[in-house]
Structure 1
Amino acid sequence: MTVTGAEAAIDSDPLEPPLLAPLRRDLSWAQVQAMTQSVGHQHDPLLQRIRATAAVQRGTRMVKVLSAAQLAGHLAGWLPYGFCYRACDIAHLRSPAELALLRTDGSGAEPVAYALRWRATDRSDFEIPMGATQAGLPALPAHSRLGAMVLGTGFTPSTDDLIPEFVTAGFADLPMPANAQLLAYPGTGDEVVLYTYQPEQHGWLRLAGPRWRHLLEGVPGVSPDREYLPCTDAGAARLIGRINDQEYPAVADPPEEFRVRALTRAARYTVDSLSRRTEHAHWRAVPAWVLQRDDSWSRLRLTHPDADAVAAVGARCYERGVYEVWAPTRELVDHHIAELPYQL
């Protein structure tokens, strides 16, 4: 949804600044929309200025549209990763049919749409897939991708809307912040909060009452009657906080609270510094995150997939823009723990 003047932004949420386009007599909304759908406008300075107005701030609500299988994965411990959107940019999309284009796994039509919504811990966790950033995505051939084509303009393919898209930086896993939500859209215009994330307990608390219990019936491996679903350690990233040079597992509750992860409230001290910790390596000269590993094999996710990198390692597309491969652990080069600090 496009806002066409600064006066429309006066009462907007500062954490979610509106997308602004300088419409005038010789630049209509239809022309801007057409520019966002044309690969030839990837490097257009005007389009880049428009796209830059859709900024992510600390605390901005981000959304990833899910299939039923992906919802089950997040209930089991998956972390936010891959293509996502600001909640304010897709708030007008409420039906499964409207949200289907934003799905990333290429699965067929489903009667219920699902989504993960969380608040951004930091703007550095997100990239815009346009220009030099993730430049190889638009050139990937159709037979090696899932979901909608990546245009490289920073906008998702659409005949009607202007929807700015983001990817997690390098397609990395992001630690799940407190109070993240799993949502359902049954096609009635309702937005149903199914679960909310409890970081100290490392699990999902069900919020949907009996009226909405049927929305979980098609989710594989999930019982609609369970009140609480503890997570496994399926993610590859974690938050680390420091107090007086001592290191602690940390929790982010953006935009303002960053604390030690502890079961008792008295021990949830505010941390002095915060960083995201994960593993990184190269295999066959291709950079990748290390998602899982043992002494023999490692599961890798390419940080900047393009046709050459995908071919070099034989990576498979699991979601839109997400390419993973299993590699012999002994062949990894520059395998190290990556520490990505945040500015608090």
Structure 2
Amino acid sequence: MTVTGEDSELGTDPLDPPLMAPLRRGLDWQQVQSMSQSVAYRDDAEMRRIRATAAVRRGTRMTKILSPAQVAGHLGGWLPYGFCYRSCDIAHLTEPGQLGLLRTDGMSDDNVTFALRWRAVDPLDYEVPAGPSQPGLPALPAHSRIGAMVLGTGFTPSTDDLIPEYVTAGFADLPLSANAQLLAYLPGGDEVVLYTYQPEQHGWLRLAGPRWRGLLSGIPGGSPDREYVPCSATASARLVGRIDDNEYEAVADPPGEFRVRALTRAARYPVQTLSRRAEQARWRGVPCWVLQRDETWARLRLLRPDADTVNAVGARCYERGIYEAWAPVDELTEHHIADIAYQF
């Protein structure tokens, strides 16, 4: 017998294969859920098999639950990063109080919860926040973390649900796919699409009408009357594609469209190759993403945070799993541009 997540419109998408658990005499759903919450089952083979059924595919819808301040950040140009979920795995959570428990800054609001939803460009961009990808996360002490503890089983802490969680690979920033959405969830289960991302214009188009002006006013720096919000922050990662011997900035519209970024539709040629480009370096021997820098200082994010690396660079936790530090540029080693190639 097999149990899957609750039926929903999202769960029927072939790009969103449901989480599946083989039930039998002596292993009911309650036991599976209990095992997902126990550190004793971090390396359990059966739990790993169950967790592996929650696959991310090209085009899978992903969701990150946000606070109002994080919404403002994404409107300004932040990219998806850190802890996130397949949309189908949390489709049954419709109330703000339920979804708010998944926020990465440790806060919750029963009146409204915000979210970023996008389509995955490639499974390569996501990993399970547990061994072997992220073995140090569960051991981080409580005083150095924000948000819920990381169990190391691949599932989020919950007394009732079985929710597989993901992090962006190495806690990287991921370029936004076309038509990503900023959403609000209201009491009663209402979902409101506030903005949609327009990659050619590098900004957000407001979709919420006058009825939702109060929601937009609750976003720091938000303007309910502004129909288009350009991204002002410089992105730390971008997509590049090649056509023959020429390289172009690219746009992803998964699952099947990967094209040159161009204002005119006639120039949006499909690319032959695609990769994600970002800066990497080591500081004090710790591998990091270089998020921004000038001639003197660089802002770094740890790829594999654990107690030793956090202490080695004096990193600060900004949200669940996200550890960053400032470093003198001349102390960086192995500073390079990394290209993560996708396979078509």
Q: Does the 8 A contact of 1:114 with 1:185 survive in 2?
A: yes
Partners in 1 of 2:237 and 2:209 — Cα distance?
32
What is the identity, as a one-letter code, of the residue corresponding to 1:223?
A: S
* Structure 1 gap segments, 5+ residues each: none
Q: Which residue of 1 aligns with 2:169?
A: 169
What is the CA deviation profile of residues 204-228 of structure 1, one whole-angstrom value per residue up to 9, with x for unaligned ones? 0000111122111211011111100
Partners in 2 of 1:163 and 1:108 — Cα distance?
18
What is the CA deviation profile of residues 304-338 of structure 1, one whole-angstrom value per residue up to 9, with x for unaligned ones? 00000000000000010000000000000000000
Q: Which residue of 2 aligns with 1:276?
A: 276
Partners in 1 of 2:27 and 2:312 — Cα distance?
44
Deviation of 1:235 (Å): 2.5
Deviation of 1:17 (Å): 0.3
What is the identity, as a one-letter code, of the residue corresponding to 1:142?
A: A
Give the share of equivalent positions with the same residue, in percent.
Answer: 71
1:75 is the counterpart of 2:75 = yes
Q: Which moved more, 1:224-233 or 1:155-164?
A: 224-233
Q: Does the 8 A contact of 2:195 with 2:204 survive in 1?
A: yes
What is the identity, as a one-letter code, of the residue corresponding to 1:333?
A: T
What is the identity, as a one-letter code, of the residue corresponding to 1:269?
A: Y
Partners in 2 of 1:303 and 1:133 — Cα distance?
10
Partners in 2 of 1:343 and 1:95 — Cα distance?
38
Total equivalences in the alignment:
341
Deviation of 1:5 (Å): 6.3
> What is the SS of the residue equivalent to 2:117?
strand
Q: Which residue of 2 aligns with 1:4?
A: 3
Q: Does the 8 A contact of 1:186 with 1:215 survive in 2?
A: no
Partners in 2 of 1:101 and 1:168 — Cα distance?
19
Deviation of 1:284 (Å): 0.3
What is the CA deviation profile of residues 241-283 of structure 1, one whole-angstrom value per residue up to 9, with x for unaligned ones? 1001100010000000000000000000000000000000000
Q: Does the 8 A contact of 2:260 with 2:267 survive in 1?
A: yes
Could you tell me the TM-score, scaled by structure 1's length? 0.97
Partners in 2 of 1:5 and 1:317 — Cα distance?
35
Q: Which residue of 2 aligns with 1:236?
A: 236
Structure 1 moving runs of 4+ over 4 Å: none
Q: Does the 8 A contact of 2:130 with 2:137 survive in 1?
A: no
Q: Which moved more, 1:224-233 or 1:266-275?
A: 224-233
Partners in 1 of 2:278 and 2:43 — Cα distance?
32
> What is the SS of the residue equivalent to 1:102?
coil
Q: Which residue of 2 aligns with 1:160?
A: 160
Partners in 2 of 1:75 and 1:245 — Cα distance?
34
Q: Does the 8 A contact of 1:57 with 1:122 survive in 2?
A: yes
- Write the mapping of 1:23-34 to structure 2, written as runs, cut at 5 A: 23-34=23-34
Deviation of 1:110 (Å): 5.8
Q: Which residue of 2 aligns with 1:15?
A: 15
Deviation of 1:189 (Å): 1.0
- Write the mapping of 1:259-338 to structure 2, written as runs, cut at 5 A: 259-338=259-338
Q: Does the 8 A contact of 1:81 with 1:174 survive in 2?
A: yes
Q: Which residue of 2 aligns with 1:187?
A: 187
Q: Does the 8 A contact of 1:33 with 1:161 survive in 2?
A: yes
Partners in 2 of 1:322 and 1:74 — Cα distance?
16
Q: Does the 8 A contact of 1:5 with 1:22 survive in 2?
A: no
Partners in 2 of 1:110 and 1:21 — Cα distance?
31
> What is the SS of the residue equivalent to 2:249?
strand
Q: Which residue of 2 aligns with 1:98?
A: 98
Q: Which residue of 2 aligns with 1:42?
A: 42
> What is the SS of the residue equivalent to 2:175?
coil
> What is the SS of the residue equivalent to 1:27?
coil
What is the identity, as a one-letter code, of the residue corresponding to 1:248?
A: Y
Deviation of 1:159 (Å): 0.1
Q: Does the 8 A contact of 2:110 with 2:187 survive in 1?
A: no
Partners in 1 of 2:267 and 2:81 — Cα distance?
30
Partners in 2 of 1:234 and 1:242 — Cα distance?
22
Q: Does the 8 A contact of 2:146 with 2:320 survive in 1?
A: yes
What is the identity, as a one-letter code, of the residue corresponding to 2:315?
A: A
Partners in 1 of 2:225 and 2:4 — Cα distance?
48
* Structure 2 gap segments, 5+ residues each: none
Could you tell me the TM-score, scaled by structure 2's length? 0.97
Q: Does the 8 A contact of 1:76 with 1:234 survive in 2?
A: no
Partners in 2 of 1:234 and 1:102 — Cα distance?
27
Q: Does the 8 A contact of 1:146 with 1:318 survive in 2?
A: yes
Q: Which residue of 2 aligns with 1:122?
A: 122
Deviation of 1:163 (Å): 0.3
1:88 is the counterpart of 2:88 = yes
Partners in 2 of 1:74 and 1:103 — Cα distance?
15
What is the identity, as a one-letter code, of the residue corresponding to 2:95?
A: S
Q: Does the 8 A contact of 2:126 with 2:169 survive in 1?
A: yes
